[in-house]
Structure 1
Amino acid sequence: MPSLHRLTLSLALVLAGGTLHITSVAAAEGQSAAEIPYAQIERLRADRDWLAALSLIERHLAVHRADADLYRLRVLTLADIGARDRARTLYLARPQLFSAEQAANLNAAGLARRIVWSKAYAVDEATRLEEARAADAAIDAYRAQLASAGTPEPASLAYDRLVVLNRLGRHQEVADEYRRLENSGRPVPGYALGAVGDSLLTLRRPDEAAIALERAVQADPEDPDLPIQLGYAHLERERYDLALPLLRGLVEARAPWPHAPGARRGYENWQRYDAETNYALARAFGEDQPGAQAMLEPLAAIGPNNADLQASLGSIYMFRGWPSRALERFSIASTLDERNVEARIGQVETLSTLQRYDLARPIHDQLLARYPNEAHVRSMDRNWDMRRGWQARVYAAGGRNRDGGGASPLGNRDREYGVEVATPLIDDRWRLLARSGRRWADFQGDRSVAQRNEVGLGYAYDRLDAQLYVGRDRDGLGGTAIAVGAGWRIDDRYSLRARVSRNDAAASLQARASGITGDLVEIGADYHPSERTALGASLQHWRYDDGNRRDQLSLALDQRLLSRPHLLIDGLASLGAGRGSRDDAPYFNPSRDASVEFGIRFDHLTWRRYDRHFRQRLTLSSGAYWQRDYGTAWVPSLRYQHEWQFAPGRVLSYGLNWSRPVYDGQREQRLGFDAEFRWGE
């Protein structure tokens, strides 16, 4: 969220806008008032010539060190000139010289200055909150002093403290105090509502934050940060219809930052920069990643030493599915500014995606130690635990086929159930694996069943991931099952995969009904140029026990057609071809076949609240299937699915599917279902 770069406090404004006057009294301890030009000092102060007045005061105070009036004039002039913290320090040294009204004003002004300083960027992380803690301690001491004297607190003190609490990350206290003040008939003024809105957003209460920030914008329409905060509140409410026009309007309302090739510098307009970068990120959140990239890359070319800009561009690259490119940007941002928390969080996320937990861990641990109360750091830690922890999947599927005359390789009815479990990461690379599954299908009254238990070992490091499984079917058919698979990531776009399996679990149940099992060799390649395009190819070679050799080639394309904040539409296309070496196999085994299919998928984000969401997907497709000796037939299909995410890594999905496939020239109608629950990444 954008930081509050400017803090305006009510009492500070009063003190900055006017002069604190005093009534002169005789000098103490025998000093002669006639020797001191009080009238001249007062004229200079009345003319707001603070420096001349202060210079005159200091010159005479050097001679008349004990003069109470000069001391008082010095303190009040320091407050007028803007040195309010110094003025308060001097006041506290001799408080008896000041009236109750002057004391209240000096205390409020000094505390206000400390609050302003608490927003400044610290020289090092060890002292980043030092000023905020000092301001909080000073406020507590002042409140205790007022309470002991029975003096009512200034109205502004509670409002000012909201800003300090926000800076210290004590967001629940901000929310509680804000509600108390509002309910007691003391509405929080505009200057403190930005801090309130920020805390409410951190607490994931965007509806309340939007109300507070709308009031803040109305109270101070010139503050450049408040509309940006309001835009983020709308984004977190899923109101892209409000957020995107608001942020786009900020960009259009602010003059561009001209830059000519070869010029040493452009005409700086940081408000335009803030509006542009935040609008770009909002577009990315709203599924317009290419538009966001097009906005940020030219800015990064102009200002390559801007750490925040490099980190923002890294986030866009992650959205686009380019973790290596994103890591480069996050690393640059961290080098430019080691205090950039978002850049270091980005490093942890990208290194985890790239399976380099050994490099991510020191950054993760350092962030957690230094910023334990930061919302984004806590979220990073939850994702870290989720990725590295237990992984599990429970699934079920089945269907009923009619009118096929017994040719279907799926039988008249079929079911499948299973569970897969993986232990937490061991030494950043290894997992122990286990899975158990049961499949059965009815073929004209005869049921074919396969029930298998397997254990395995998984390895994932950098570009390589691999798995080894060993298992056995309950009935012992086919002997020991062994499967070895591996994948190699070439870069952000290309990857390769291969698998070799003896007594493969996916072999035809129709073949199994005749006591026949099959081995599999599979190779594949994937091309993923961005989040909008995915192309995959695979080649399978089956070796069945009866001597049959079957080869299958498939290509699949998934291409984004439309992207909106809550609706994605993808075009689907696939090609397939196969051949079998035996014509007399007791299972579906075309000597030659081929297919082409085109479809469209609608993915609607119906509801989302931060990490939780509900999606609906509808997929329609139709294509032509050709089989030697049986000709060509059109094959339609329909699928409808729900997806519930209860938390990161906690996803339940289920769906129904309908199709009219053709086997050996016989058309059948299939109605099926599937469901799964995933725990972990």
Structure 2
Amino acid sequence: MQARQGNTAAATAWLDWQSRQRLLTVNEVADWLQINGWAGNDNEVIRLWQRYRHVMVLPDRAITAAAKSYRNLGQWPQSLALWRMALQRSPNNDDALSGLIMTLSDAGRHGEALHLASTRVQRAPSAAHWGELAWVQNAAGLHEDALASISQAIQRSPQNPQLLRDYSAVLANNRVSRPALTIGRQGELPPAALRQRQSDAAAELVRMAFLPSVTERERFAVADRALASYETLLTRWRADPEAQDDYRRARIDRLGALLARYRMDEVVAEYEDLRRAGDIPAYARLWAASAYLYLRHPDKAEQLYLAVQRDAPQEMRQPEEHSNLFYSMAENGQIAQAQRQANQLSRNAPYYRHLYGSPVPVPNDEWLAAQQLLTQSMLLRDALAQAQRNIERLASTAPGNQGLRIDLADIYLMRGWPHRAEMELKLAEGLGPRNIRLETRQGLVALDLQEWRQADLLADDVMARSPEDSSVQRFERLRRVHHMAELRINASRGIKSDSPVAGAHDTNIDTVLYSPPLADNWRLFSGFAFNQGEFEEGRGINRHVRGGVEFTNRVNWLEAAMSGQNYGRGQKIGARLSGWHDVSDSWRIGASAERLMARTPLRALTNGVTANGAEAYLRWRPSESREWRLALAPGWFSDGNRRFEYRLEAKERLYSSSFLTLDFTPSLSGSHNRRSDVAYYSPRNDAALLPALTLDHLLYRHYQTEWHQEVVAGAGSYWQKGESHGAITTLGYGQRVLWNDVLEARVMVNWDKRPYDGVREQNLSLSFDLNYRF
């Protein structure tokens, strides 16, 4: 009795002493085996079994005790042999059959174990038999079948603590974590198992936090519940020495809740702290990679994604993970690798997939996701026309897919077609007018079309509903930039010049400051210009102060200004009115009229000659790779001269890639003057044809920060009435920087050589342009 109650030492000591004095009886040997088995002395049980099995015929209880010890020690063949021996003696020994079933399962012989357990439960469907069948099914990985079996056991014995513990384990294996925790508490789980269930329940909330919510207001409700649960668990386990493994696991799983809550800085900080303390599982490294990508650290994100793809490729099974890897490569400047990633995904994803139990194949969402990534890879290579064709094909075959229509509108906007983009988004609006991504793109199109009020309304709406969305933040950033003041500076300095137009050592500065928008459509501005050059008759200086108002609305721009001009002969008052109208995405017409026009040569002003003028132009821009512009500009000089100028210029894209663009930029220009016997350069008739090439090389890009270098080279011909034809040669090199949407600056060195009145003159100058929003 004492041994049954746990006091096994006295009984085993007495039996050991008796075994040295005499031959023990069969029952005494059986007792000795059983008592050592209760004490967990499996090696002693095996020693006694081997000592007495050939000396006497031991009873079934001795055989089962030895079988259990062999099983505990992982010696499956010996254990199975003893269980079968016991069943041969007593075919109705249910405990021996249970031992045989469990040992077969432990040995990995799941088929035999399942057959025996299923046959028995059909013969005698008791709670214990259903429970053991569930145990075997669970060990065989048949978790759903195990759940059905353990449910049968619980129905027959709902208060059995062991069955409740088994029920909790089966629920946990089926990832039904919250009920598993509730049942586990009823079954009085050991502390370690209970902590496991608590961790599983919190992790289940993390998984649910990434699922779409019923309403936008509830999208963070589950994530907040998960974070609250982890706060409680971490506080409880922090100081418990036995719970440190569970404490670390909870910290790791909490990263997912922080990610779902868009607390990206906390995700990164906690990940780095955990990483310093030990290895991080692959699924948590993917969370950290996503946070790094969101925080614009694509280099760290790419490293993590590639490491998981190498070490645990099964974790990269979601299309979202492959998409994030693609974008991390792209944003990190690894365009070739991103292209290979997109091509590989598109090759590996079949158009159809087969669902289990269905004879009819269904379209594969992963194929569509791969095609969309392939389109993005085309955009990275600046192959906009190819990307457009691809997405148009996809959108035409899936008219109910709103995302594809939005993607198509994005490409239209990139190609400079805001009207087409607007129409495409209007079609997409019928599929879900409150879609965040749709409204964001509509806002970007509104900014391009100068629909300022509409853009503000859309920005306010999406920022109120989803301020954590990166595309929404991008839209809000552009809206805020639009509402800033603007400073424009254009300057040039002649280093070496013999030009009769600009003079030697010429200096030109033009500065304009615009106010933030007023009442959506208006801006006030003021400006100052300074021109200086050295001529044969002396130094020419012109100071030009102006102020006015700018008006913009949908597809229209208008600017009116008054100016004061001082060029050494008193103060003159001038005025300017200019504007343009976009007829369509491709066509624009513009015109201007000036009193004291800005194109008046400085040498004319130096000699007391002023001019009024006008200009009209027509621009045709069918796409980003082609643009033609024709301008006609008459001028009326105060000395009686009448000038008429024309200019035809074009841009034809010859080559484009991720980092290089090469454009053919020819121009044809000319003028007619009524008088040529004047102090300033005024040929009776002249014309210039200048074919040129412009190369733009992207040296560095990190989101909205770019650094370019530019090379311009051209060679053409100049004709002037009364003079022989002459060659024109031009070269230019410059660098351009764009920063954070608010700054664009360019410095360029230009050299050209061309004839004036039959004499070829060369000009070397330095130019500087700045556009700054603040």
Normalising by structure 1, we get a TM-score of 0.88
Q: Which of 154, 158, 175 does residue 268 from structure 2 map onto?
A: 175
Q: Is the contact made by 2:165 and 2:187 (CA closer than 8 Å) also made in structure 1?
A: no
- Partner of 2:279, secondary structure, is coil
- Partner of 1:195, secondary structure, is helix
Q: State the alpha-carbon separation in 1 of the partners of residues 211 and 234 from structure 2.
A: 25
Matched residue type, 1:178: Y
Identical counterparts, % of pairs: 23
The reply to whether residue 142 of structure 1 matches residue 233 of structure 2 is yes
Q: State the alpha-carbon separation in 2 of the partners of residues 564 and 418 from structure 1.
A: 35
The reply to whether residue 439 of structure 1 matches residue 534 of structure 2 is no
Question: 1:111: how far off?
Answer: 2.1
The reply to whether residue 650 of structure 1 matches residue 740 of structure 2 is no
Q: State the alpha-carbon separation in 2 of the partners of residues 210 and 504 from structure 1.
A: 56
Q: Quote the residue 1:517 is aligned against.
A: 610
Larger radius of gyration: 2
- Partner of 1:450, secondary structure, is strand
Question: 1:96: how far off?
Answer: 6.5
Q: Is the contact made by 1:356 and 1:461 (CA closer than 8 Å) also made in structure 2?
A: yes
Q: Quote the residue 1:316 is aligned against.
A: 411
Q: Quote the residue 1:50 is aligned against.
A: 146
Q: Quote the residue 2:32 is aligned against.
A: none
The reply to whether residue 528 of structure 1 matches residue 624 of structure 2 is no
Q: Which of 514, 525, 548 does residue 456 from structure 1 map onto?
A: 548
Q: Which of 140, 153, 157 does residue 250 from structure 2 map onto?
A: 157
Question: 1:72: how far off?
Answer: 4.0
Question: 1:662: how far off?
Answer: 1.1
The reply to whether residue 124 of structure 1 matches residue 219 of structure 2 is no
- Partner of 1:157, secondary structure, is helix
Q: Quote the residue 2:191 is aligned against.
A: 100
Q: Which of 108, 111, 121 does residue 202 from structure 2 map onto?
A: 111
Q: State the alpha-carbon separation in 2 of the partners of residues 133 and 639 from structure 1.
A: 59
Q: Provide the aligned length of Structure 1 versus Structure 2.
A: 635
Q: Which of 701, 708, 731 does residue 638 from structure 1 map onto?
A: 731
Matched residue type, 1:59: Q
Question: 1:105: how far off?
Answer: 2.8
Q: Quote the residue 2:394 is aligned against.
A: 299
Question: 1:90: how far off?
Answer: 4.4
- Partner of 2:238, secondary structure, is helix
Deviations 1:529-563 (A, max 9, x none): 11111111110010111121111111111111111
Q: State the alpha-carbon separation in 2 of the partners of residues 35 and 220 from structure 1.
A: 43
Q: State the alpha-carbon separation in 1 of the partners of residues 699 and 435 from structure 2.
A: 35
Q: Quote the residue 1:556 is aligned against.
A: 649
Normalized per residue, the structure richer in helix is 2
Q: 1:257 to 1:487 in 2, by over 3 A?
A: farther
The reply to whether residue 279 of structure 1 matches residue 371 of structure 2 is no
Q: 1:376 to 1:632 in 2, by over 3 A?
A: same
The reply to whether residue 329 of structure 1 matches residue 421 of structure 2 is no
Q: State the alpha-carbon separation in 1 of the partners of residues 428 and 525 from structure 2.
A: 38
Q: Is the contact made by 1:435 and 1:454 (CA closer than 8 Å) also made in structure 2?
A: yes
Normalising by structure 2, we get a TM-score of 0.78
Q: State the alpha-carbon separation in 2 of the partners of residues 430 and 181 from structure 1.
A: 54
Question: 1:566: how far off?
Answer: 0.8
Deviations 1:207-256 (A, max 9, x none): 11111111121233241433332221111111112211221121122224
- Partner of 1:336, secondary structure, is coil
Matched residue type, 1:548: N
Deviations 1:457-499 (A, max 9, x none): 0000101110001011135657311000011011211111110
Deviations 1:98-139 (A, max 9, x none): 122331332232222221111111122111122222222222
The reply to whether residue 219 of structure 1 matches residue 308 of structure 2 is no
Higher relative contact order (CA closer than 8 Å, sequence separation 6+): 1
Deviations 1:364-415 (A, max 9, x none): 01222223333333332222111221011123212155566xxx22222311
Question: 1:73: how far off?
Answer: 4.5
Q: Which runs of 5+ in 1 are unaligned?
A: 1-16, 20-33, 259-264
Q: State the alpha-carbon separation in 2 of the partners of residues 193 and 365 from structure 1.
A: 35
Q: State the alpha-carbon separation in 2 of the partners of residues 266 and 531 from structure 1.
A: 41
Question: 1:38: how far off?
Answer: 2.2
Q: Quote the residue 2:457 is aligned against.
A: 362
Q: Is the contact made by 1:396 and 1:416 (CA closer than 8 Å) also made in structure 2?
A: yes
- Partner of 1:329, secondary structure, is helix
Q: Is the contact made by 1:644 and 1:653 (CA closer than 8 Å) also made in structure 2?
A: yes
Q: 1:195 to 1:35 in 2, by over 3 A?
A: closer
Q: State the alpha-carbon separation in 2 of the partners of residues 335 and 131 from structure 1.
A: 30
The reply to whether residue 380 of structure 1 matches residue 472 of structure 2 is no
- Partner of 1:467, secondary structure, is strand
Deviates more, 1:241-250 or 1:595-604: 241-250
Q: State the alpha-carbon separation in 1 of the partners of residues 369 and 135 from structure 2.
A: 39
Q: State the alpha-carbon separation in 2 of the partners of residues 286 and 663 from structure 1.
A: 44
Q: Which of 514, 530, 545 does residue 422 from structure 1 map onto?
A: 514
The reply to whether residue 665 of structure 1 matches residue 758 of structure 2 is yes
Deviates more, 1:295-304 or 1:282-291: 282-291
The reply to whether residue 205 of structure 1 matches residue 297 of structure 2 is yes
Matched residue type, 2:291: S
Q: Quote the residue 1:469 is aligned against.
A: 561
Question: 1:616: how far off?
Answer: 0.5
Q: Is the contact made by 1:542 and 1:551 (CA closer than 8 Å) also made in structure 2?
A: yes
Q: Quote the residue 2:101 is aligned against.
A: none
Question: 1:44: how far off?
Answer: 3.6
Deviations 1:623-661 (A, max 9, x none): 111111113111000111111223212122111100112
